């Protein structure tokens, strides 16, 4: 996008397997608190930390669920750059792509507290650190992570944004789908319809 495009951009990367309201509540609240033009939900192509531990739903299906979930909602967008790039998804490459697509934009990398605690395991993290501001949102089940000199966020430009604590995870939703328990109100309704149409996550209703 040209210089007239969005200037303050947040991006929340994830497997979104599947998307749920925990992701969406985080995105809308960070967008509001930081007055961002847009928050991109960046769908991982191959989440390298997950593919070895469990089967991951095809990227195109996960993307379609995110697109359907945010359709018509202003300021939150599905983003396919990691899928378009193909291969294993590294945030360092995503940041480089975003810099190319949105030259001069300020990039805010939004992560949940569980991910903040794992930052040290990321590939080529030193390429990411100088290029983004971190925004850490609280997540039930994960210790609080505060910006500071001697925590996991040392060396990062970082801030915490408090969001409504929603104990919702894709792991639980996959289990719910597989065992036929309700997904209602945990995933936007049009996305539930799509995942059923595509027979994703096993189980019936």
Q: Which chain residues interact with ligand ATP by CB under 6 A?
A: 12, 14-17, 22-23, 26, 111-112, 114-115, 137, 139, 166, 168-171
Find out whether 30 and 163 touch, Cβ atoms under 8 Å: yes
Closer to ligand ATP by CB, 26 or 105: give it: 26
Closer to ligand ATP by CB, 106 or 172: give it: 172
DSSP the chain: --TTS-SEEEEEEE--TT--HHHHHHHHHHHHHHT-SEEEEEE-SB-TTTTTTS----HHHHHHHHHHHHTT-TTEEEE-HHHHH-SB--HHHHHHHHHHHSTT-EEEEEEEHHHHTTGGGSTTHHHHGGG-EEEEE--TTS------TTSTTTTS-EEEE--------HHHHHHHHHHT---BTTB-HHHHHHHHHTTTTSS--
CB closest to ligand ATP, residue no: 112
Closer to ligand ATP by CB, 105 or 187: give it: 187
Cα–Cα distance between 99 and 128 in angstroms, integer? 11
Q: How far is the CB of 4 from ligand ATP (least distance, A)?
A: 29
Q: How far is the CB of 138 from ligand ATP (least distance, A)?
A: 7
Q: How far is the CB of 115 from ligand ATP (least distance, A)?
A: 4
Q: How far is the CB of 55 from ligand ATP (least distance, A)?
A: 12
Q: Measured on CA atoms in the order 32, 33, 38, 39, is the torsion positive or negative?
A: negative
Q: How far is the CB of 98 from ligand ATP (least distance, A)?
A: 16
Q: How far is the CB of 27 from ligand ATP (least distance, A)?
A: 9
Closer to ligand ATP by CB, 55 or 204: give it: 55
Closer to ligand ATP by CB, 89 or 170: give it: 170
Closer to ligand ATP by CB, 73 or 171: give it: 171
Cα–Cα distance between 194 and 102 in angstroms, integer? 31
């Amino acid at each position: 996008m040209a210089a007239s495009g969005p200037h303050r951009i947040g991006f929340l990367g994830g497997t979104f397997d599947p998307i749920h309201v925990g992701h969406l509540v985080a995105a809308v609240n960070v967008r509001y608190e930081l007055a961002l033009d847009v928050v991109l939900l960046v769908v991982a192509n191959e989440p390298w930390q997950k593919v070895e531990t469990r089967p991951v739903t095809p990227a195109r299906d996960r993307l379609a669920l995110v697109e359907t979930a945010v359709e018509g909602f202003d300021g939150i967008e599905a983003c396919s750059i990691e899928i378009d790039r193909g291969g294993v998804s590294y945030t360092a490459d995503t940041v480089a792509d975003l810099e190319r697509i949105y030259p001069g934009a300020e990039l805010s990398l939004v992560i949940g507290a569980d991910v903040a605690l794992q930052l040290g395991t990321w590939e080529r993290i030193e390429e990411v650190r100088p290029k983004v501001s971190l925004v850490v949102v609280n997540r039930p089940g994960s210790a609080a992570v505060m910006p500071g000199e001697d925590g996991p966020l040392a060396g990062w430009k970082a801030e915490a944004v408090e969001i409504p604590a929603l104990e919702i995870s894709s792991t639980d939703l996959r289990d719910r789908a597989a065992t036929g328990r309700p997904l209602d109100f945990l995933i936007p309704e049009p996305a539930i319809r799509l995942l059923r149409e595509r027979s994703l996550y096993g189980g019936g209703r």
